[in-house]
Amino acid sequence: MDNRLVLTLLFVTLSWMSAGATNVTTAANTTSATNVTTAANATSATNVTTAANATSATNVTTAANATSATNVTTAAANATSATNVTTAAANATSATNVTTAAGNNTTLMTNTTVETLGTPVSRAECGSQKLCGAQPTDCDPSTANSCFFASFKQMGNSRNFEIEVSGESDGYVACTLSRDSTLGGNDTTYVCANNNGTVQFFGALLNNNQLTMTTLNVNSVKGNVNGRKIQCTFAATAPSPLTTRAGDSFAIGIGTGPFNSTAGTLGSPTPQFLSGVVVLSNPNATATNTLNANTTSPNATSHGITLRQSLTQAVLMTVGVLSLATL
């Protein structure tokens, strides 16, 4: 056979063997990879099962350190942009339609470590930025000693709120959220207790006037104790609505009770404030105390004594007049 013909056939065969390959199982450091099972350091990767350090990754099951990741099932840390991601870990610059994204969760992670509250709780922003309830009405917890106070400020458009609680107690001050106007029925309760001069925070459920400790979605807790005044602030995820229409509508309760710091137990609360059902995200909502004033007013006892004294005097005067009339 002609040697030139043999060389030509050999050259063509080698050319076919060295041609580009599509649908490769493993491709490392490729500029473009389509339908690749595993692609490392790829500039562009489409429909890749696992792509590490990819500049652009579309429909990727797992993408680590990706600049842009679209429709990714799991996108690991340091992703610049993640769209339609089921789980996106921390340090993501942009995350759209993410079911769980660390640092920007729909439900707050729990951390009840209490830091020192530097700025006292006050009425600042009430009616403009935060919903407030107080007994006596309009009292300022930053100055008044006899003031039971709670405020709610929505964080973005989520079910998360910045909450402030203040009150006077030798044990604890608690804020309860109830779906109706009656306290109890496993209502979510946030408890700030005086533990030997420092605030200790508890999550609890109120049922039949008993508090049962539980884990709530609360973090960023700060507190301060000044004499009998207990103040605390924290971020919390509001309880899930019973219906779509219920949303973030709750009655707000403020109560006080004893705290055994040795045993770490909470006594039964005494209600000091209870509003009607209000929308927590509406700072203009009216949260007024619906409890009997005689059970919440610090002067209720003295009012009762004065009334009894007046009645006694009236009876004595009547008896005196009748006695004179019979003479």
pLDDT band at 248 (very low <50, low <70, confident <90, very high): confident
Burial of 177 (0-12, 13-18, 19+ CB in 10 A): buried
Angle at the Cα of 29 from the Cα atoms of 24 and 32, rounded to 5 degrees: 60
Nearest to 213 by CA among 144, 264, 274, 154: 264
pLDDT of res. 292? 64
| Average pLDDT over every residue of 279-297 | 80
Distance CA 47, CA 84 (A): 14
> Is residue 311 helix, strand or coil?
helix
Distance CA 117, CA 132 (A): 19
Q: What is the pLDDT of residues 173-216, one digit of tens each?
A: 999 999 998 999 999 999 999 999 999 999 999 999 999 999 99
Task: Name the percent of the chain lying above pLDDT 70.
Answer: 55
Distance CA 176, CA 131 (A): 15
By the 8 A CB rule, do 231 and 211 touch? Answer: no
Q: Taken in order 241, 243, 244, 248, is the CA torsion positive or negative?
A: negative
By the 8 A CB rule, do 118 and 231 touch? Answer: no
Q: What are the φ/ψ torsions at residue 70 (nearest 5 degrees)? A: -115, 135
pLDDT of res. 181? 86
Nearest to 223 by CA among 188, 192, 189: 192
Q: What are the φ/ψ torsions at residue 301 (nearest 5 degrees)? A: -65, -45
Per-residue pLDDT for 21 more than 50?
no
Across-strand partners of 198? 195
Distance CA 216, CA 110 (A): 7
Output DSSP code: residue 89. -
> Is residue 180 helix, strand or coil?
coil
Per-residue pLDDT for 231 more than 60?
yes
Judge: domain 114-298, CATH 2.60.40: yes
pLDDT band at 15 (very low <50, low <70, confident <90, very high): low
Q: What is the pLDDT of residues 46-76, one digit of tens each?
A: 443 444 444 444 443 444 444 444 443 333 3
| Average pLDDT over every residue of 35-39 | 41
Distance CA 167, CA 144 (A): 10
To the question of pTM greater than 0.85 for the whole model, the response is no
Enumerate the domain spans of the chain: 24-101, 114-298
By the 8 A CB rule, do 15 and 6 touch? Answer: no
Is beta strand 187-195 parallel, antiparallel or unpaired with respect to 198-207?
Answer: antiparallel
What is the DSSP annotation of 196-225? Answer: TTEEEEEEEEEETTEEEE---SEEEEEEEE
By the 8 A CB rule, do 97 and 84 touch? Answer: yes
Tokens of 31: 């500029």
Q: Taken in order 93, 99, 102, 105, is the CA torsion positive or negative?
A: positive
Compute the half-sphere exposure of residue 288: CA atoms within 13 Å on the CB side of its CA: 4
Q: Of the spans 25-34, 297-306, 313-322, which averages the highest pLDDT? A: 313-322
Average confidence score pLDDT of the chain: 72
Distance CA 241, CA 143 (A): 35
Residue type (1 letter), 180 = D
Q: What is the pLDDT of residues 116-166, one digit of tens each?
A: 999 999 999 999 999 999 999 999 999 988 999 999 999 998 999 999 999
